[in-house]
Chain A
Amino acid sequence: MIVTQALDVVLLLLLVMTAVAIARVKDLFATVMLSGIYGLLSASFFVLMDAVDVAFTEASVGAGIFPLLMLAVLSFVGRYEADSKRRVALPVFLLTLVSGAVLLLATTQMPAFGGEDTPAQQHVAVRYIEDSPQEIGIPNMVTSVLASYRGFDTLGEVLVIFTATIGVVVVLLGVVQPGKARSLPADEDMADHKVLRIVGKMLIPLILLFALYVQFHGDYGPGGGFQAGVIFATGIILYAMLFGLSNAQRVLPMPLLRGLTALGVMIYGSVGVAGLLAGGNFLDYSVLASDPVSGQHLGILLIELGVGVTVASSMVLIFYAFSLTTSSDGSVER
């Protein structure tokens, strides 16, 4: 227990230090690297808090895809911040100080950290913990809640991802005509990086295999469609960076990805409609098979598949959109 608390304090203090460093450093490249560290630290913190599924997601998103997208944007907008002419820092600092103090005052009214009988641990959580292993029949309660009890909620989240991806593609590629691939590490740039290419060639199949493991092992351990999708996308993005966008597009062309993004959402919705047709409620999997528990298994498998397909193709599509955009204003600042 004491070890947990010590680690908790150390990790949280490191997080605060990283956040302050992000606020102070003027070099955007360095801040992006710091935000990668920030993602990794928060993932470690989530492991400490028993949130293994969340940690998995945060590690692959916060320390993986997020800095990557940020770096792609920095290649458009330049690396350094301009020195700000307006001085607003002091009033804003006082304002945050005051609101922070008010919030601190409010924490004294909260139940103490880690208690068994806090309001958050009552009500519906008890039912999830006690009944889901029998009712749904899979050990990972997070997957049961995500895919079955709160399946409708998750459908909404997948739709948000889908919509955001459409937004990115429209904003970046819809208005200007997509030009040739920009100088993101393209074929000829990376040709002299022999070591990177060979190691990448070794690792990419393993990354994709691991993503599939995470996808289908999500019922029994940490994992599931969201994590698997992000990991799968990382493998493809790595390939695109090492061997050029044109090669990657030969494997996964844009139109196919667009279709896959929609297909994942469609799989999800179709499972819901299948439940309706079989005489149950929308997204009620118990009626999908003769036995409720195997019906739940089938439903969760299909839903996670839909989530995985949508998330993976969304992430790759977003990366493609950033890589294909030609900067309409080619001038580089400084």
Chain B
Amino acid sequence: MDFFNYWVVIALMMTGLYIVMAQQNLVKKLLGLNIFQTAIFILYISVAKVLGGTAPIYTESATLYSNPLPHVLILTAIVVGIATMALALALVVRIHGAYGSIEDDEIRDRSKQ
């Protein structure tokens, strides 16, 4: 039970990795990357949690807080993640314009011709 969160993180990571490697569709690959990314967010936030603590907002009544530092790192990573994901999606749109397909193997076939 002590490691349950970490096990789930690994399961999610591997699901994401599987999608990125096994799927041919570029949009699907990006969704896989998103799953992988969120797994890492969950890892950081799980590490930050202190059982019995509260959210890191100072109040008179609380003495035990969860660690604010991973929260900061992940908060910014989420917004940076969506911006870079938008760039990847823009590239997907351009690839579709150039090759007429977003399937990995079809793109390879057409670029050989």
Contact = CB atoms under 8 A, between A and B. Distances in A.
Q: Are A and B in direct contact (Cβ within 8 Å)?
A: yes
Interface of A: 1, 4-5, 8-9, 12-13, 15-16, 19-20, 22-23, 28, 31-32, 35, 38-39, 42, 45-46, 49-54, 57-58, 61-62, 65-66, 69-70, 72-74, 76-77, 81-82, 84-86, 88-89, 92-93, 95-97, 99-100, 103-104, 107-108, 110, 112-116, 118, 120-121, 124-125, 128-129, 132-133, 139-142, 144-146, 150, 153-154, 157, 160-161, 164-165, 167-168, 171-172, 175-176, 220-222, 224, 226, 229-230, 311, 314-315, 318, 321-322, 325, 327-329, 331, 333
Given A54-B74, A103-B13, A129-B68, A160 B80 contact: yes
Given A52-B55, A84-B24, A146 B76 contact: yes
Given A58-B78, A85-B105, A113-B2, A53 B100 contact: no
Given A19-B12, A92-B21, A140-B58, 18 more contacts: A22-B31, A23-B19, A42-B41, A45-B42, A61-B81, A69-B86, A93-B18, A93-B22, A113-B5, A128-B69, A141-B68, A142-B72, A146-B75, A154-B76, A157-B79, A171-B93, A226-B76, A331-B100
Interface string B83-107: 1111101111110111011110110
Contacts of A100: 10-11, 13-14
Contact of B25 (A81, A113, A321): A81
Contacts of A35: 31, 34-35
A167 B90 contact: yes
Contacts of A121: 50, 67
Contacts of B22: 88-89, 92-93
B83 A49 contact: no
A11 to B, nearest CB: 9
Nearest to B66: A50
B59 interface: yes
Given A99-B17, A100-B14, A66 B27 contact: no
Given A31-B28, A103-B10, A322 B93 contact: yes
Contacts of A104: 7, 10
| A-B complex: 8 closest residue pairs judged by Cβ atoms | A114-B51, A112-B2, A164-B83, A139-B58, A50-B66, A328-B97, A141-B68, A141-B56
Contacts of A175: 94
Which of A31, A45, A142, A167 counts the most chain B CB atoms within 10 A? Answer: A142
A54 B26 CA distance: 28
A23 B105 CA distance: 18
B51 A115 contact: yes
Contacts of A327: 93, 96-97
A133 to B, nearest CB: 4
